[in-house]
Structure formats: structure tokens, C-alpha cells
Amino acid sequence: GVMRNTTSSFSTDEPQFYPFVCPDTLTVDTSTAYGGNIQIQSASTGNMLIGLYDTNSVGGPNDLQLEATADTTSTGGIYYQWSVATGGSASFITAGSQIWIGFVMEDAGDSVTYYSSDGEYAAGWAVLAHAYNTEASLIYDYSGSDNALPATVTPGGGLAYANGLNMPALSFRPEP
């Protein structure tokens, strides 16, 4: 697919997830405050919680491996530091494996506008054979706690598609 940069306003209390296939085997660097980056256009009043998840047996997000908190109260490039989640690993990413990036605002009702990749110009994907969405590449978890990243995402029943919301341009740095 072809990606186009755009912006998205985010004010949903449910965690959002999108898939990513990593071309290399790597260990995420948890030693630096510059371990990841998000570009903020319009600041919020709080933080964004960000997580990296492995993939479950049906292709959806599974267990939280790494987590970070991004202070989104200012605009521009915001850096954050990754930490290993309870039971997680910094070296769970293998070449060609699908991982999931999860994010949610820490405070109820908080809103932020971030730079993103336009889902209309991305290849579509499916978590289940009947669930295909060409406009947005996000799913959200409405069965868990709001304003928190779940330790494990439970497949079926609690996942829905976030039409019209584009994935944020988040990053993570491999260990040198």
C-alpha cells in the first residue's frame, strides 16, 4: 500500500490497536528516554499510554510486552522511554512477525491531535476472515478498562473496528 501523512484527533477512552510487521529480529531499547517518538499537532492535558503486543492465535493483539507513557501536553516531537511490561520481553520481535501497537489516553475525556498515516492509502487487513476494513487500520477493545492498556487483549466479543481514525506515526528504537 501507499501511505499518506495526515492528522487525526483522538478522544476515545478505549484502547486502540493496529498491526505492524517488522522486517528484522530486534530487541527494543529500554535504556533511553529517546526510545520512541510521536508527533503531536494539538496538545492534550495529559498522557498517552503506548504498548507493543505480540499476536494471538487468530491474528489479533495478545499480551502486552512493552509499555511507555508519552507526555502529550506539548506539540512537536514527543519522546518516550519503553519499559518491559510484567511478563513481557524487550526481545519478542522476530523478522516477519506481526506485532500490535496499542495506545489510549490516560485520562477520561482527554483529546489529542497527532500526525498519522492515512488508512485510506494503506493496505487493508483482517483479524478474522469476515472482518475487513479498508478505511481504517485500527481496532479497539471495548470489553476492558477504559484509559488503560490491557495486559492481555481477549479475542472475540470485545473488539470492534474504529472507522475513520487513522493510526498514529509512533516509533520504537532497537538496541544498538
Band of pLDDT at residue 121, cut at 50, 70 and 90? very low
Each residue of 77-98: pLDDT tens digit? Answer: 888 999 999 999 999 999 988 8
Each residue of 104-116: pLDDT tens digit? Answer: 899 988 888 887 6
In three-state form (DSSP H/G/I as H, E/B as E, the rest C), the secondary structure along the chain is CCCCEEEEEECCCCCEEEEEECCCCECECCCCCCCEEEEEEECCCCEEEEEEEEECCCCCEEEEEEEEEEECCCCEEEEECCEECCCCCCCCECCCCEEEEEEEECCCCCCEEEEEECHHHCCCEECCCCCEECCCCCEEECCCCCCCCCCECCCCCCEEECCCCCEECCCCCECC
Whether residue 151 has pLDDT greater than 90: yes
* Mean of pLDDT over the chain: 76
Query: What CA–CA distance (Å, rounded) separates 171 from 78?
Result: 11
State how far the alpha carbon of 158 is from the alpha carbons of 26, 153, 155, in Å. 31, 9, 7
Query: What CA–CA distance (Å, rounded) separates 132 from 111?
Result: 27
Each residue of 2-36: pLDDT tens digit? Answer: 344 567 777 778 888 888 888 889 898 899 888 88
C-alpha cell at 167: 493510526
- Which of the two residues, 16 and 48, has the higher pLDDT score? 48
Across the range 155-176, mean pLDDT stands at: 60
pLDDT on residue 122? 41
Whether residue 134 has pLDDT greater than 50: no
pTM value is 0.81
Side chain identity at residue 37, one-letter code? N
